[in-house]
Amino acid sequence: MDNPLSVIVVDDQAPFRLAARAVLRRTEGFELVGEAANGIEAISLADSLHPDLVLMDINMPEMGGLEATRRIVAGHPGTVVFLCSTYDVNDLPEDARTSGARAYMHKEQFGPKILRRLWEERDSNGFAT
């Protein structure tokens, strides 16, 4: 792929950011351009970097991922957000599906195949998991 998709990883846990970095390095067509540890940092990065994709944790200090997702999608309609957490899909907070995120992936399942599948399905009418 000539122009890789720019990606920001947002998670308050450094081990997940490290794992996401490794997955992105192994996934052709995706390029990590920034990392944030909370929603406030995520919004700032999205404003300055205009990423194609944000991988967003749900529970973080200062500002959680759902509120940050709403603000990023409102300010940057072309940016796609995928929520990432340890919730079972049936236990997601009620407003996860209406936050503006296009998909959800469990952190334990995060890898190149699911990332690519969710990206390919991002424009479907549903909230992909």
When pLDDT is cut at 50, 70 and 90, the band that residue 127 belongs to is confident
pLDDT at 129: 74
pLDDT at 124: 83
- Residues 38 and 65 sit within 8 Å (Cβ to Cβ): no
When pLDDT is cut at 50, 70 and 90, the band that residue 56 belongs to is very high
Considering the chain, what is the average pLDDT of its residues? 93
- Residues 84 and 90 sit within 8 Å (Cβ to Cβ): no
Q: What is the CATH number of domain 5-120?
A: 3.40.50.2300
Burial (CB count <10 Å: 0-12, 13-18, 19+), residue 81: buried
What are the residue boundaries of the structural domains of the chain, listed by start? Answer: 5-120
- Residues 95 and 115 sit within 8 Å (Cβ to Cβ): no
Cα separation values, 45 from 7, 30, 36, 84, 90, Å: 11, 17, 8, 18, 30
Q: What is the pLDDT of residues 61-109, one digit of tens each?
A: 999 999 999 999 999 999 999 999 998 878 888 899 999 999 999 999 9
Model pTM?
0.94
Residue 6 per-residue DSSP state: E
Q: What is the dihedral of CA 109, 91, 83, 70, to 10 degrees?
A: 180
